[in-house]
Amino acid sequence: MDARRKTLNEVLEMGRRELKHLLAGDVMEAEELARERCDKAQQVLSGLDKESVQALEGELRAFDSLQRDLTAEASLLKDRVRDELTNLRKQSKRLAGYKVGAGFTKSGFNRSRFVSRTG
């Protein structure tokens, strides 16, 4: 039981570090921690009986709360990335319009840029 409690506390600490990385925008580090945390959490949660669940109730509630926080932050990050991609698409379309308006189309590059003096 003490080994499970210790491992569950390690999982909680890993989750807190993961949340800090998500808040800082370091998605790669957060992803690595999430994978490690998932493996350890599965070790702890596999084969829990009713007595073990009651003994670890406080830690399990903290784990649930932390998981909700992580999910909420990941959802916000996903929304931010989606909005940034939408803005980039709009900007790309706008710049493409300027390119066409300025005469820099594909056929425009085939023309000579200089005036010929011989003709």
Least-confidence region, from 28-32, 82-86, 92-96, 114-118: 114-118
More reliable by pLDDT, 4 or 101: 4
Q: Is residue 33 part of a domain?
A: yes
* pLDDT average, residue stretch 60-67: 94
More reliable by pLDDT, 76 or 105: 76
Q: Is residue 106 part of a domain?
A: no
* Number of compact structural domains in the chain: 1
* In the block, residue with structure tokens 């596999």: 46
Q: Is residue 40 part of a domain?
A: yes
Q: Is residue 6 part of a domain?
A: yes
DSSP state of 112: -
What is the model's pLDDT at position 40?
A: 93
Q: Containing domain of residue 59, as a range?
A: 2-76
More reliable by pLDDT, 75 or 103: 75
Would the pLDDT of 2 be above 60? yes
Q: Is residue 58 part of a domain?
A: yes
